[in-house]
Structure 1
């Protein structure tokens, strides 16, 4: 099939949705499909990939994007247009939400699919209220099929009317956005030494773009309660949205106020091999999501896939406490600090979480994710043939 994946972000622009799109497109190519990614212009060059990437002449995803996307679709003539939707990636603008409704007016069009990476409403105008949720629902219901990445989103989508009549709703979880592939000749002891980590130190890893829901402020407060030998590496950079940059600035001020500058390593954006190396070098990972752990979080799946014993917060993800991860309440620095102390002092528990997390992450392979998408696409075609 000829498949177009539309994503507002794509490497080298950092972001989980862009990484997801790259992994999905690559897996679909390996299944024999002709895949093209439509995305916006970006600074820098992405690594060589097996799929075609078309950079649309867009800096903003406002109403002008309709004409630009439509022109690209005329050239590509895909069987499927699959929108990767995350509200913030499209700058909170509603233009993309109404694009499928516009396409449905045309006699010849591709099958329309959207993956709901989140269900946050876009910004319209002050006090827009319920209209913002309606705009999100419109996108989800104006396509032929919607993909939920987790059961909680599936429940909300069904309440909105998804999956009824000729509309299709399928749950397809995301996979780890970073492969277990450090640089060639990587050596854990040398890598830790380069980071200034001595043998008596415990290295805690946090991975992902910094935004308020990641709970980095909770992790910094927890670190302040831990002995001097505990160090933190924050792998990843600031998110691009203004409110997330403001939150990141507040985190840097918090680190300085608590005199933790010597105990926190902030890497900024890293390539995939470097991220993998940092995760493998850590003794444990802490991902204290404020909204609870969910399988929509590629960073969670990445730490589990790397076999890093992980502490995270209770949420919608079906994690078994002390088997897949060590679970703590959200926004509770004392509980998080206690869990870090417990895990650091218990080699058997670390080994159990390492094995259990890796086994769980293996269920979310990109090969299986691609096969589920094939099932969805062929189902749409067969329903209209």
Structure 2
């Protein structure tokens, strides 16, 4: 029998953000497996064509695969009551919080208390998309870690998206005597569906970017912030000759943590200008899924030099793999045996622009290696289908309900 599942997320399309895209894909896959889905999120996620009358403000919006509840103005303490109201009205079996501090207003710990608020109302599970600490307020100090620990301790179940976070969360939860069965590691999938394209569309994209037939197009996908290493990529591009171009695919700052992301973007643009690369760096701006997919396929290779190392919790990395692109990324800082340099990706040291440039040159000069890496990427991505992710998630939710 299907479950009635609530997905709580600070961002959701049309808001720009990886967690919102993840939630949408998970909701669709869970719906296909006969579960009833309710998405509880920010008012900014209200579809432009949805009614905006006073009486319709609290009414769910039918998305076909889920009911959308864009009820939350700001993720502060009153938001807990609004979420509880939806949970009670819809008689949900389990509530799954998609936790990323930046998406829930980093200067408030309200969302960290939602499992406590729903203790006698519904089972709760938290998917930790990262383990960053909320800002809260100046000199919050140890309270920031305490807020995250409380969220993990008070939920009935915890989901990590990669092995490093799983190990950290296991230590955190076990301190309170929780059973290991309450913790699961479930991967994320690509937040961009692979759309079929052809050489004509690819040619049009490259022509629009002003590329010549002999030019090499490097692709970068995802919002820009300090952790993703785009500044290192620009340094590497400066070492390469004029044949090499770079396209930043998609939106630039996203809906979450926009101020810090904008500061990084401003610095990055200044760096590009100072190095004289403006004519070789291109920006698509925000695109729909189909156009993102086409641009990914138009790139000769993807270069994603994360400063914290490659991780399978990155939806942007999973998108590059799903599209079968030759991928250059940075060596994981935690064991990630799925990523094998020379088989399904090319790994370079974190923060090393020279090594990054050398890797680009190597792949440019070796068509067979590019083909091998692309095939390996596709095979790896097949392990992380949304159908598999949804099935594992539902099994975990049912265990919590026992």
Where on the TM-score scale, by shorter chain, does this alignment land: which range?
over 0.9
Query: How does the TM-score come out when normalised to structure 1?
Result: 0.94
Q: How does 1:66-105 map to 2 (within 5 A)?
A: 66-92=80-106, 93-104=108-119
In structure 2, the partner of 1:191 is 205
Conserved 8 A contact 1:314-1:328: yes
In structure 2, the residue matched to 1:230 is 244
Q: 1:23 aligns with which of 22, 25, 30?
A: 25
Where does residue 194 of structure 2 map in the other structure?
Answer: 180
**Cα contact 2:190–2:316 (8 A) shared by 1:** yes
2:144 corresponds to 1:132: yes
| Structure 1 position 19, deviation (Å) | 0.5
Q: What secondary structure does 1:251 align onto?
A: helix
Question: Given the superposition, is the C-alpha separation of residues 89 and 130 from structure 1 closer, same or farther in structure 2, using an over 3 Å criterion?
Answer: same
Is the 2:247–2:281 Cα contact (8 Å) retained in structure 1?
Answer: yes
Please report how far the alpha carbon of residue 167 of structure 1 lies from its aligned counterpart in structure 2 after TM superposition.
6.3
Cα distance between partner residues in 1 of 2:145 and 2:261: 22
**Counterpart in 2 of 1:60?**
74
Deviation, 1:159, is: 1.2
- Alignment deviations for residues 110-143 of structure 1 (CA, whole Å, 9 cap, x no partner): 1101100011111122222222111101101101
Given the superposition, is the C-alpha separation of residues 188 and 63 from structure 1 closer, same or farther in structure 2, using an over 3 Å criterion?
same
- Give the whole-Å Cα distance in 2 for the aligned partners of 1:364 and 1:338: 30
> Which residue does the alignment assign to 1:110?
122
Partner Cα distance (2:95, 2:348) in 1: 40
Q: Which residue of 1 aligns with 2:372?
A: 352
CA distance, structure 1, for counterparts of residue 48 and residue 22 of structure 2: 14
Post-superposition Cα deviations, 1:5-51, rounded to whole Å, max 9, x if no partner, equal 11110011111100100000000000011111111112673799432
Match of 1:324 in 2: 344
* Cα pair 1:11 1:46 within 8 Å, conserved: no
1:255-334 equivalence runs, <5 A: 255-315=272-332, 316=334, 317-318=336-337, 319-334=339-354
Unaligned runs of 5+ in 1: none
2:264 alignment partner, SS class = helix
- The residue number in structure 1 matching 2:54 is none
TM-score when scaled to structure 2? 0.90
1:370 aligns with 2:390: yes
My pick for the range that moved more, 198-207 or 173-182, is 173-182
**Which residue is equivalent to 2:271?**
254
Residues 67-122 of structure 1, C-alpha deviation per residue, up to 9 Å, x if partnerless? 21122222211111111000111121210001211221x3xx11101100011111
SS in 1 for 2:77: coil
Question: Residues of 2 paired with 1:91 and 1:361: CA distance?
Answer: 32
Q: Residue 165 of structure 1: which of 179, 201, 205 is its match? A: 179
Name the structure 1 match of 2:4.
Answer: 2
Contact 2:160/2:185 (CA < 8 Å) preserved in 1?
yes
Which residue is equivalent to 2:47? 45
Report the Cα distance in structure 2 between the residues aligned to 1:184 and 1:69, rounded to whole angstroms. 45
Cα offset for 1:198?
1.6
Q: 1:4: how far off?
A: 0.8
Q: Deviations over 1:126-171 (max 9, x none)?
A: 2222221111011011011000000000110111125833860000
Q: Distance in 1 between matches of 2:232 and 2:179?
A: 45
Residue range with higher mean Cα deviation, 36-45 or 213-222 = 36-45
Q: Which runs of 5+ in 2 are unaligned?
A: 50-61
Are 1:312 and 1:327, in contact at CA under 8 Å, matched by a contact in 2?
yes
2: CA distance, partners of 1:56 / 1:24: 18
When residues 115 and 186 of structure 1 are mapped into structure 2, their CA distance, relative to the original with a 3 A threshold, is farther
Let me know the Cα RMSD of the aligned residues: 1.8
Would you say how many aligned residue pairs link Structure 1 and Structure 2?
379
Q: Distance in 1 between matches of 2:178 and 2:170?
A: 8
Asked if structure 1 preserves the Cα contact closer than 8 Å seen for 2:7 and 2:96, the reply is: yes
8 A contact 1:26–1:50 mirrored in 2? no
Q: Distance in 2 between matches of 1:263 and 1:59?
A: 41
